[in-house]
Amino acid sequence: MQQFAFSDSLNRLPQQFFAQLVQKVNKLTDEGHDVINLGQGNPDLSTPNYIVEELKVAAENPDHHKYSPFRGQPFLKQAIADFYKQTYDVDIDPASEVAVLFGAKTGLVEISQCLLNPGDLALLPDPGYPDYLSGIALANARTSMMPLKKENNFLPDYLAIPDDIKNQAKLMFLNYPNNPTSAMASQTFFDDTVKMAKKHRLCVVHDFAYGAIGYDGKKPQSFLQSAGAKDIGVEMYTLSKTYNMAGWRVGFAVGNASVIESLNLIQDHLYVSLFGAIQQAAQKALLSDQRDVTHLVETYERRRNALINSLHAIGWRVEPPQGTFFAWLPVPEGYTSETFAKCLLQEAHVAVAPGNGFGEAGEGYIRVGLLASEKRLEEAAKRIGKLNLFR
């Protein structure tokens, strides 16, 4: 059989980090082991019933059996604008400031191809979501990493970035509440971000995937709540986490009209928008009573408390996450992120994500998902405790 060579673009793509993790877990599971998989970010709870019922009704509408408008249904764009007004008191023009996405991941990969030419520079958080790198690789652009350090509350230190790097950069990715560190950002930080971006004429992309998930009564801040944010950037949101709709692949970008137009333009050539019935169900999710979202956050907070209390009980002194459904935990002395994650998987049958998979600055940590019941999280801590690593 003829073997055809991959394009240079495909060969530049980084290795898919989570695919390797899945293979390791599946191998142990196939061998009959009970693996507690806390290594991925796939929500474990079901989509609320009222959203599912809306899809069933919408699927019977013959209008949705035709091609959707290339750039999304106007009713969904209006719902997105209404959601931002109600939730964040941010005004969004549904016609020019909304791009419907096939999940936020799609937009986060596409944006580099929209705005970067070969050799252009992008600023990336380290540690950060691995797929930011994928879009940059496809665009054949360059990266400069912004270390997220504990002493700076896992926020980038803009003063530590040389001016020549900030002047070269065309694009900067941010993500709060943060995956993987679970850190939150304040309006002051976003205000400073707007000032810096305007001064150095760079575009900010804020990944707001965990925008609904903040703990201890703290509501996550939208980047667009800072004055002037729409002048220099966009925010990307997904229904995957807020409504447990990961498999539905519904996301959107809001903000700067020129950036939104670039996303719409590239998608004109790639897709014919989402199935109309899914867009109708997404409208229902955004505009309905948000009590289910409140209950979801309460569920994650109970899981967080169960995990952290159980880890404290075995002597592992860790700090509770502020947001997201992850915990960012320091590894014990004598281990790297990789060796500790391997130890937990092989010896305790607990799967976690090694921190260095999110960037060099993630070394010394592991990421643990709150995507299992309180009982399973407590069991995971007990298994780890039996290894006697924290006495």
What is the reported pLDDT for 31? 87
What is the reported pLDDT for 19? 75
The CATH code that applies to domain 49-287 is 3.40.640.10
* CATH number, domain 8-47+291-385, options 3.10.20.30, 3.40.50.300, 3.30.465.10, 3.90.1150.10: 3.90.1150.10
What is the reported pLDDT for 29? 84
Collapsed DSSP state (helix, strand, coil) of residue 58: helix
Q: Which residues pair with 330 in a beta bridge?
A: 365
Distances (CA, A) of 228 to 38, 61, 181, 223, 258: 39, 41, 27, 10, 15
What is the reported pLDDT for 116? 98
For the chain, the structural domain boundaries read: 8-47+291-385, 49-287
Residue 141: name the closest of 161, 167, 114 by CA.
114
pLDDT tens across the length of the chain (391 residues)? 989 999 999 999 887 777 777 888 888 888 888 999 999 888 999 999 999 999 999 999 999 999 999 999 999 999 999 999 999 999 999 999 999 999 999 999 999 999 999 999 999 999 999 999 999 999 999 999 999 999 999 999 999 999 999 999 999 999 999 999 999 999 999 999 999 999 999 999 999 999 999 999 999 999 999 999 999 999 999 999 999 999 999 999 999 999 999 999 999 999 999 999 999 999 999 999 999 999 999 999 999 999 999 999 999 999 999 999 999 999 999 999 999 999 999 999 999 999 999 999 999 999 999 999 999 999 999 999 999 998 7
Cα separation, 208 vs 216, in Å, equals: 19
In the numeric block, the tokens 């780890």 are attached to: 384
Amino acid identity of residue 55, one-letter, is L
Residue 299: name the closest of 362, 241, 223, 238 by CA.
241
